[in-house]
C-alpha cells in the first residue's frame, strides 16, 4: 500500500458515495461503515537464533450478517489495521455480490514472509492461531490465504486450531493444500475468475478476445492464472510485473510476441518474484515498474496491491484500453476511478472481478462439511456459473440504473446485506 493512500478511507468513501445514491437507511449505513469486531494482538515468535521477535497480528470481522465472516490473512511489511479494515469491508461486498452465504473479514501480520525461515513462518502461523482461535471457527469466521501467505501455511493453521479445540476442523480455514482438506481448482480460482469476468465484459462490449492484448501488474497467484486464462481465451499478454526483493523495486517484464506464463512461472519463486536475468536471457525486456500501465493493451489487469492506478498513473493509460479488470483489491483510487469513468473505460470492480477465490473457498468449506470432494472440472464449472451470474447481475444493475460498474456492484451487494439485516431484525 503506498503511504499516501489510506485503504480504509477509500473503502468508506466508496461506500458513502453509493449509500447516498441509494438513499440508504442511516442506521444501516452507520452499522456498515465500520467493522463489527476488530482484534489486534502480539505474536511473540522464537526465531532460529534463539531470540524472541514480537509481531503484530490483526483480524477484523466487518460483517457476519449473511454468514460467517470470510477473508484472507495477509503477511506484508506495510500491513496496518486500516488496510485490514478496508479489505474486510470489501470482503462483505464480495461475498454478497458472488451470492455466497458468508460475511466479510480479513487478517494480517506486518511481516515480510520471505525474510523468515520455514520454521519461523510455521511458528508465526501457529502463533497467529493461538491468539485468535477463540474468535474464529467454521460458524464464526473462516480465514484463507492472501498476499504473502500460502496453502502450506493454511495447513499449519488448520492443524494448530484442530489441536487447540481438540477435534479435526478442516472448515476453520480455506486455501488448504489439496490432500489436506483443500479443494482442487482453488489455486487458479481467482485468476480464472478474473478472466471469466473479462470474457463476459468482452461479449458486452463486442470485443473479439482473439485480437485482444492484456497488460498485467503482479505475477503472484492471481496474476499468473489471469495470464494463463487470458491466453486460453485466445488473447495475448504483453507484460506482467513484479516486486524485486533484491533491488527493492518493481519491474515490468514484457515480450514483443506476448509473454509465456508457463515459462515465467518456471523462473518465479513462491513470492511472485521473477528471476529477471533468466527472463532477459530468454528474450524478455525488463522495464521500469509502472511500464505495464502505459502498454498498448485492450485490457489492464492490476493484480498486485492497492492504490496502483492513482491520480498520477491514470494519465499514463493508453487510448487503446477498453477494460480495467481489478484482480487486486482496491487497485484504483477514487480520483483515478473518476478519470476512468470520464474516459468511458469499462471497469470490472475488485470485489466482483476477484471473487473467484472466495467462491472456491466457499466450495472448499462445503466439501469439508460433506467430507466429499469434487473434481477440478466440477469446481471450475461451478465457479464459471457463479462468476457469470454475478457479472450479469451487476451489468443488469448498471444498465438499469445507468450506473458505473463499481457503483452498480455496490448497489447489488449493499442491497443483499441490508436485506439480511432486515430479515434478522437488526433494522
What are the residue numbers of the active site? Answer: 106
Rounded-to-integer distance, Cα 398 and Cα 417, Å: 18
User: Stretches 61-69, 155-163, 200-208, 301-309: which one binds ligand NAD (CB under 6 A)?
Assistant: 301-309
Q: Least distance from C-beta 207 to ligand NAD, angstroms? A: 24
Q: Residue 258 has what DSSP assignment?
A: -
Query: Which letter does DSSP use for residue 68 in this model?
Result: S
Radius of gyration over alpha carbons of the chain, in Å? 20
- Does residue number 241 form part of the binding site for ligand NAD (CB under 6 A)? yes
Q: Which of 26, 28, 113, 23 is nearest to 77 (CA)?
A: 113
Q: Is 242 in the site for ligand NAD (CB under 6 A)?
A: yes
- CB atoms under 10 Å from CB of 399, counted, come to 11
CA–CA distance, 105 with 136 (Å, rounded to integer): 10
143, 281, 371 from 182: Cα distances, Å? 13, 37, 11
Give the contact letters, 176-195, x = binds to ligand NAD (CB under 6 A), - = no.
--------------x-----
Binding mask 117-156 for ligand NAD (x = CB under 6 A): -----------------------------xxx--------
- Least Å from the CB of residue 306 to ligand NAD: 7
Asked if 328 interacts with ligand NAD (CB under 6 A), we say yes
Taking the complex as a whole, the smallest distance from the CB of residue 194 to ligand NAD amounts, in Å, to: 9
Calpha distance 289→313 (Å, rounded) = 11
- Residue 32: which H helix or E strand, with range? helix 26-32
Q: Are strands 346-348 and 323-325 parallel, antiparallel or unpaired?
A: parallel
Q: What CA–CA distance (Å, rounded) separates 45 from 123? A: 6
Interface stretch with ligand NAD, choices 161-169, 277-285, 299-307, 377-385 (CB under 6 A):
299-307
Asked if 219 is part of the footprint of ligand NAD (rule: CB under 6 A), the reply reads yes
The answer to whether the CB of 346 falls within 8 A of the CB of 205 is yes
The residue number with the shortest CB distance to ligand NAD is 220
Q: Nearest distance from residue 103's CB to ligand NAD, in Å?
A: 16
Q: Rounded to the nearest whole angstrom, what is the least distance from the CB of residue 298 to ligand NAD in the complex?
A: 20
Q: How far apart are CA 414 and CA 32, in angstroms?
A: 9
CB of 387: closest distance to ligand NAD in angstroms? 12
What does the block give as the cell for 181?
A: 482438506
Question: Which range binds ligand NAD by CB under 6 A, 195-203, 211-219, 280-288, 378-386?
Answer: 211-219
Q: Which listed residue (220, 229, 261, 307) binds ligand NAD by CB under 6 A?
A: 220
Q: Which is nearer to ligand NAD, 92 or 273 (CB)?
A: 273
| Alpha helices, H only, 139-185 | 151-165
Q: Choose one: 63-71, 125-133, 215-223, 253-261; the region binding ligand NAD (CB under 6 A).
A: 215-223
Please identify which residue in the block is written with the cell numbers 462490449.
Answer: 205
CB of 190 to ligand NAD, least distance (A): 4
Binding to ligand NAD by residue 354, rule CB under 6 A?
yes
What angle separates helix 376-401 from helix 81-97, to the nearest 10 degrees? Answer: 90
Strand order in the sheet with 141-145: 37-46, 52-63, 104-109, 69-75, 141-145
User: Which span (34-42, 214-222, 227-235, 363-371) binds ligand NAD, by CB under 6 A?
Assistant: 214-222
Q: Which is nearer to ligand NAD, 147 or 207 (CB)?
A: 147
The binding site for ligand NAD (CB under 6 A) comprises: 146-148, 190, 217-223, 241-243, 250, 272-273, 289, 303-305, 327-329, 354, 357
Amino acid at each position: 500500500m503506498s503511504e499516501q493512500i489510506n485503504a480504509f478511507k477509500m473503502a468508506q468513501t466508496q461506500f458513502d458515495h453509493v449509500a447516498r445514491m441509494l438513499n440508504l437507511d442511516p442506521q444501516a449505513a452507520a452499522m456498515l461503515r465500520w467493522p463489527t469486531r476488530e482484534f489486534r494482538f502480539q505474536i511473540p515468535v522464537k526465531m532460529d537464533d534463539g531470540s524472541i521477535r514480537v509481531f503484530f497480528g490483526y483480524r477484523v470481522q466487518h460483517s457476519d450478517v449473511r454468514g460467517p465472516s470470510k477473508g484472507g490473512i495477509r503477511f506484508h511489511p506495510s500491513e496496518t489495521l486500516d488496510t485490514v479494515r478496508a479489505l474486510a469491508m470489501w470482503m462483505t461486498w464480495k461475498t454478497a455480490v458472488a451470492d455466497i452465504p458468508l460475511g466479510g473479514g480479513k487478517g494480517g501480520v506486518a511481516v515480510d514472509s520471505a525474510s523468515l525461515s520455514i520454521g519461523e513462518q510455521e511458528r508465526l502461523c501457529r502463533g497467529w492461531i493461538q491468539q485468535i482461535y477463540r474468535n474464529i471457527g467454521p460458524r464464526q469466521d473462516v480465514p484463507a490465504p492472501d498476499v504473502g501467505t500460502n496453502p502450506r501455511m493454511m495447513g499449519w493453521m488448520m492443524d494448530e486450531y484442530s489441536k487447540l479445540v481438540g477435534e479435526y476442523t478442516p472448515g476453520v480455514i480455506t486455501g488448504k493444500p489439496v490432500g489436506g482438506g483443500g479443494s482442487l481448482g482453488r489455486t487458479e480460482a481467482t485468476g480464472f475468475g478474473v478472466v471469466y469476468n473479462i470474457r463476459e465484459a468482452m461479449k458486452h462490449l463486442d470485443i473479439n478476445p482473439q485480437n485482444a492484448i492484456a497488460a498485467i501488474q503482479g505475477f503472484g497467484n492471481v496474476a499468473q492464472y489471469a495470464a494463463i486464462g487470458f491466453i486460453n481465451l485466445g488473447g495475448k499478454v504483453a507484460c506482467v510485473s513484479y516486486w524485486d526483493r533484491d533491488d527493492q523495486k518493481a519491474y515490468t517484464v514484457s515480450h514483443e510476441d506476448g509473454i509465456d506464463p508457463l515459462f515465467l512461472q518456471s523462473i518465479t519463486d513462491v513470492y511472485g518474484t521473477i528471476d529477471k536475468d533468466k527472463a532477459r536471457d530468454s528474450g524478455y525486456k525488463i522495464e521500469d515498474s509502472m511500464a505495464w500501465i502505459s502498454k498498448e493493451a485492450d485490457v489492464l489487469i492490476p493484480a498486485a496491491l492497492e492504490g496502483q492506478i492513482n491520480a498520477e498513473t491514470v494519465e499514463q493509460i493508453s487510448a487503446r484500453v477498453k477494460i480495467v479488470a481489478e484482480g487486486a483489491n482496491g487497485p484504483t483510487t477514487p480520483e483515478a476511478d473518476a478519470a476512468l469513468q470520464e474516459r468511458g473505460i469499462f471497469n470490472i470492480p475488485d470485489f466482483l472481478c476477484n471473487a473467484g477465490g472466495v467462491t472456491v473457498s466457499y466450495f472448499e468449506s462445503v466439501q469439508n462439511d460433506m467430507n466429499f470432494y469434487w473434481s477440478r472440472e466440477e469446481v471450475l464449472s461451478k465457479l464459471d456459473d457463479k462468476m457469470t451470474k454475478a457479472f450479469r447481475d451487476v451489468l443488469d444493475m448498471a444498465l438499469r440504473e445507468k450506473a458505473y460498474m463499481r457503483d452498480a456492484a455496490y448497489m447489488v451487494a449493499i442491497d443483499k446485506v441490508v436485506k439480511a439485516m432486515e430479515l434478522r431484525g437488526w433494522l
